[in-house]
Amino acid sequence: MTKRSKITIISIAVLVYSIILGSTGVFGNTVQDGLFYFFKNILPIIGILVGYFLTVFIPIRVFMALERNSKAKEEFEKEQRLQEHAANSKEFQNNILEMLNKEDTAL
């Protein structure tokens, strides 16, 4: 686990712990009432906005990944065909050299 991911996990844990403490009233009734208002009225709006964002963003990312994978597959197939052609031409050259050597030894 990298240092950055550890910092992110610890930050999220501290944030969740603070929200739990605020919800139970440790920071006072004003904070508790504010958190309840936030969870009841503002958080659903944020959830809807995040949902719309993901509805637009995820298909774009999927399309980009599919496009990138198809290009990589085409490049791999092209490279494979070139290697196969090189192997065939090398084999053909070896066959020609063998036939010439046989003719030279036969003469």
One-letter identity of residue 101:
N
Query: Domain segments of the chain: what residues?
Result: 3-106
- Measure Cα distances from 107 to 22, 95, 101 in Å: 101, 18, 10
Q: What does 63-104 look like in DSSP terms, one character per residue?
A: HHHHHHHHHHHHHHHHHHHHHHHHHHHHHHHHHHHHHHHHHH
What CA dihedral angle connects 92, 98, 101 and 106, to 10 degrees?
Answer: -120
Q: Please give the Cα distance from 74 to 80 (Å, whole number).
A: 10
Give the pTM.
Answer: 0.49
How does pLDDT run across 67-94, given as a tens digit for each residue? Answer: 999 999 999 999 999 999 988 888 888 8
How does pLDDT run across 90-100, given as a tens digit for each residue? Answer: 888 888 888 88
Cα-only R_g, the chain? 33
Q: Please give the Cα distance from 47 to 53 (Å, whole number).
A: 10
